[in-house]
Structure 1
Amino acid sequence: MAWWQILLLTLYAGYEILDELQIYSSLNTPVGAGLIAGLIMGDLKTGLIIGGAMQLTVLGVGTFGGASKIDATTGTVLATAFSVSIKGMSPQVAISSIAVPVAAIMVQLDVLARFANTYFAHRIDHLIEENNYKGIERNFLYGAIPWALSRAIPVFIALAFGRGLVQTIANSLNGNLKWLGTGLTVAGAVLPAVGFAILLRYLPVKKHIAYLIMGFTFTTLFSVLFTSIQTLGTGLQAANKSFTATFNGLPMLAMALIGLAFAILHYKDEISGKGGSGKGGTNEAATTTESTNVASEGEITDDEL
């Protein structure tokens, strides 16, 4: 791993937490981290595989108030860097053996960054009493320093001094501990399903089960349809060299637009239901609200957020 790669990844690690706190450019997400780390390491595909898998793993994980969560972004950066630079380490093994443990450990450093920031908060309280507005602005910006260092320092140490350890682990997983390496590969492939399970528990699935069924059905039907068309086109091209047409699969954007269409229809139904009037309208609305609450029992709703 070149020195400039370590430097760029360290700088990005310090930036991504600031992006998450205030800038919101989406570069702080695991898939964004996979994109950046993949570009820096020269293997965009591996970066997106790891970033996408970690994004799905934490898909239903959120924070409330000042709670800390696992740092899947930092885990993605290190997993991508080591998966590309270490011979014999597949993205799946890097996800389960590096990305997830690092993401969990970073919770403690996240708490440390919050704790260190109280120093600047107390200084701001004192400066408020003195009406020192310039000092307040400076100390507000100083608060970014412990946040950035909480990510940049561990990433730099791991990249600069941890490569030998990770190489030894990779060699062991491909040698005497190959059974463990196979297990970690399976675990890395299963982790996105865990994220989907958390998300489905988080969303009001019981209330909108019809949309969930339709979404899975449409996705499956279109996948089978376009796969069959591509297979047919491949066969025709093999039989007839003059056949040059290509068949592309249904893009994810198309599925997203279908989902948006259903969301718009549901929104209009909700608006028309709330704005409806007439005899017995109040009783009907109360009955609908009561049945909705019963159907959504145990689910996290917008009111609870």
Structure 2
Amino acid sequence: MVLDNADRRVAVIIEDDADIRNLLEEVLTQAGFKAIPTCNGLDGIAAVRAHDPIVTTLDVSMPGIDGFETARRIRAFSPTYLVMLTARDDEIDTLQGLDAGADDYLTKPFRPRELRARIEAMLRRPRQPVTTDAVGPAAETAPAPSELVAAGEALAEASVLPGQPDPTEETGTVDGWYGHNGLRLNPAERLVQLGDAQLDLTRTEFDLLGALLESQRKVRSKNDLAVLLRGEANASAYPVNEADRRAIEVHMGNLRRKLGDSSTTPRWLETVRGVGYRLASAQTSDLPQQ
């Protein structure tokens, strides 16, 4: 694994099992990181704050505060890539882990090669400011979903300002922006706008939304989206499993919530049952007048 010299080669390990902690330290050291091992949530949070790691592995079941609460506290101040590890494969654990701000989720026992491949896939995606659902500055200032819907409706009715993408386009790109039903995304600048509001999305939510906007009305399967998040270099590194598909569902649910979108009458994100996701149809009021 090759890291940019501008990035710190630091990884924090938060794991109460000594054998697994030692294994993680060995795997991450071989991958080129300086590994900082800790054995509980509070020490792990302190290590993340002190060392500003690019990657943090986090056990779910720990004495004191568990992995979910630890993840929420870390997400309140750090953009570190979070990989949660658990011995349980329950769907509720996956949901809680991703809602707490995890970037990826692995069940024990895991293969060291798969862990390295998942970390490498995350490192190929740009780091963004702290923008999660955890309690913190980003969450406290984020617009309410109802405000975002109102902003989108106002944008659809507004005139186009010079140099700005045309929000009335059904789907397409203008000056590097993808647009659909008043929602706009700029891949180069990593920006998403709905009306006058700039949306705070996680890295994964941004990449998923970008993929759907780029694909327009073409359906993207959960497997396809899971592989897309890995990047080309790791597309076939390990098979897509049920946990990966559940993770896509959770990320899409969080994205809908941040957009203020409805799953039954969607304005932006449409579920194709048994297949995957695509953009919703263009709103009549958003189409150019003939």
For normalisation by structure 2, the TM-score amounts to 0.24
More strand by share: 2
Q: Which has the higher contact order (CA 8 A, sep 6+)?
A: 1
For normalisation by structure 1, the TM-score amounts to 0.23
Query: Is the radius of gyration larger for structure 1 or structure 2?
Result: 1
More helix by share: 1
